[in-house]
Chains A and B, each alone.
Chain A
Amino acid sequence: MQRKAGNPSITEPLPVRALLMLAAIGYIGILVILPLAAVFSEALRQGIDAYFVALHEPNAIYAIHLTLLVAAIAVPANLIFGICASWAIAKFEFTGKRLLITFIDLPFSVSPVISGLIYILLFGAHSALGQWLADHDIQIVFAVPGLVIATIFVTFPFVARELIPLMQEQGIEEEEAAIMLGANGFRTFMSVTLPNIKWGLLYGVLLCNARAMGEFGAVSVVSGHIRGETNTIPLHVEILYNEYNFVAAFAVASILTILAVVTLLLKTIIEIKYAREIQAQ
């Protein structure tokens, strides 16, 4: 049972409570809500028509397409990787397990700009690998593959990090039961493991997707900012802004903002459903 915080003998005096609440609301208001509102007000400054004109500009449309394409590759890739990694970590014992967990966390601790640079050094024209790629006419950096790889790198912890604790907590008894009943590995995964992790998985995918679409640092380094070729939404926003094209910049930015709000909404719905299901058990 959760206690209501109204008990006067354990709660803080009114002035303290008021101060804390004011601080929290003020902080969120200034740092989150105000800028969010600013995005839309700036975007609509010259009216709704200018807003849509800005969005219909070919480079803007291309940036939106490219962002969706990168996310459409990076998210499923990290979904599969996340399930594999968390399955291995939660259900098996092997040497190097701790090391693997540490490596999964790496993209969280390394600055995205650095990770972008690493790929430039790895695949760029000056490296041996880059030379080989150039000889075979494969372009990675300053091209779409580079964007995809950088995005995968930056977002790969999201699904795995969400699933590892969940799967560890659930243990392997249900899987063992399924195997004792004659199910093969694939069947066991599809009809036993997957239903048990579906909410956590969805949650991880959502966070992964939000980050994949909004990623700036790593993508900025590997992209080379070629307009209409390697510009995703965040990069396009930056270019427009640097050109003092504020309405267009904020109009494109508002697309990202809407994506973020939708993600947040879905996340909240999942959390509520998930909590209900946990409670039902």
Chain B
Amino acid sequence: MAIEVKNIRKQFGDFTALGDVNLRVADGELMALLGPSGSGKTTLLRIIAGLEQADGGQVFIDGREANRLHVKERNVGFVFQHYALFKHMTVFENVAFGLRVRPRALRHSKAEIEHRVMALLSLVHLDKFYDRYPSQLSGGQRQRVALARSLAVEPKLLLLDEPFGALDAKVRKELRRWLRRLHDDIHITSIFVTHDQEEAMEVSDRVVVMNHGKIEQVGTPEEVYHQPTNGFVYDFLGNYNEFAGWRDDNGEVHLAEDDIWESSISSAPPSVVAGIKSGWMTRYPEIMGAIRRVVPGLALPHETPSNSTAKSRSKTRSSPLSERGTPVRVFARPHEMFVATTPDDAHEYIPVTVGHINPAGALAKIEMERKNGVILQAEIPKTIIDSLAIKRGDSIFVRPKNVRVFE
């Protein structure tokens, strides 16, 4: 069942939960609504379900305008974050509820209901627990009951509101995989809300990234991760290191030293980084707007040691970023960082002190502190860490291998 959302708006008092949202979900698609809390993703889901009334705009379910349709008539299954199981009913009764409340004419026989409930329970691997109460089940089991319950009424559309949000990490991963497989088996159009980017990436066909009641980007996990349309999407989809910089008239992007950064962009939140204490300054060839590119190695200032550059550099160092060009934000993912114990002549590095090293996995996660106190993160193959013998407290050198630039 295809879903179309047109110009949906929703206010809660002064707070704009959704501002003019448009979205299409194709038949049989598994789509993730991803965003931080307050981004409007749950509100959008509840409007599609009919649990919430939009202030304006339309929802089309299978081409039919659903605004006037009662929840009962939408044929939608809904899974709640906190399961919302009926506490006083057994697992069997919970799953059977949707079948038992049907109007008499549409209701199945008792034997038929029993057969279908048990089939659903075996689908979620809970057939042995049919006579338990929800309080006797673990969180993961409860959520599977909730899923079976929502599937019992044979919905054409399945909506899941942070379905794994209340579960611990391991169970969450299992259930994620299980949901993906289930979807591959029954091909029901599904939309699920999550604030966990990894979950969205792992499970969905397409991801809708939302922020402040607006859709920032819609695309496959591949697209939103590797071709983010703006800084927010990049920011939200993974860890990153951020550097301040500016774009000059020739379209070249430069990283800023931190004394300039701090004196010029005072409006930036203090947690947002940047600048390079060592006088490290590098030019990036032009990067078109928000499009990613690979920088094989950072160009060295001393590769072009003309007097004029040296002069202009000393001049620019004291002037604010906005006077030198367009201020930009330069990002690099932790796995796009390169570390060395000694700086080599071909590149410039940021000198850092090694903080915590998390060695779990093939990639070791390293926290490094810059001279200005900013923390950088790097994910480096364990073998490299071992061969360089890097440990906590060491002074090492780091540079981004690959950056993205947003204004």
Interface residues on A, range: 10 to 19
Docked pose: A211 CA to B185 CA in angstroms: 61
Say if the beta carbon of B346 comes within 8 Å of chain A.
no
Docked pose: A173 CA to B85 CA in angstroms: 9
Does A182 lie within 8 Å of B78, measured CB to CB? no
Say if the beta carbon of B80 comes within 8 Å of chain A.
yes
Say if the beta carbon of A195 comes within 8 Å of chain B.
yes
Partner of B78, one of A177, A195, A281: A177
Docked pose: A191 CA to B96 CA in angstroms: 13
Interface size of B by CB at 8 A reads: 25
Say if the beta carbon of B77 comes within 8 Å of chain A.
yes
Docked pose: A179 CA to B88 CA in angstroms: 17
Nearest-Cβ distance from residue B249 to partner chain A, whole angstroms = 55
Say if the beta carbon of A110 comes within 8 Å of chain B.
no
Chain A residue at minimum C-beta to C-beta distance from B81: A173
Docked pose: A184 CA to B135 CA in angstroms: 26
- The residues of B that contact A257 with a CB separation of less than 8 Å are none
Docked pose: A76 CA to B51 CA in angstroms: 32
Does A180 lie within 8 Å of B150, measured CB to CB? yes
Does B84 lie within 8 Å of A187, measured CB to CB? no
Which stretch in B53-61, B97-105, B227-235 binds the other chain? Answer: B97-105
Does B80 lie within 8 Å of A173, measured CB to CB? yes
- The residues of B that contact A173 with a CB separation of less than 8 Å are 80, 82, 84
- The residues of A that contact B150 with a CB separation of less than 8 Å are 180-181
Docked pose: A113 CA to B376 CA in angstroms: 74
Does A174 lie within 8 Å of B97, measured CB to CB? no
- With A176-B51, A280-B135 as contacts: A181 and B82 at CB distance below 8 Å: no
Chain B residue at minimum C-beta to C-beta distance from A170: B87
Does A182 lie within 8 Å of B82, measured CB to CB? no
- With A182-B72, A195-B88, A281-B135 as contacts: A177 and B80 at CB distance below 8 Å: yes
Docked pose: A30 CA to B330 CA in angstroms: 80
- With A176-B51, A281-B87 as contacts: A182 and B80 at CB distance below 8 Å: no
- The residues of B that contact A187 with a CB separation of less than 8 Å are 101
Nearest-Cβ distance from residue B10 to partner chain A, whole angstroms = 14
3 shortest interchain CB distances as A-B pairs: A181-B98, A173-B84, A177-B84
Apart from A180-B76, A181-B152, list 5 A-B contacts with CB within 8 A. Answer: A174-B86, A176-B78, A179-B71, A180-B78, A280-B133
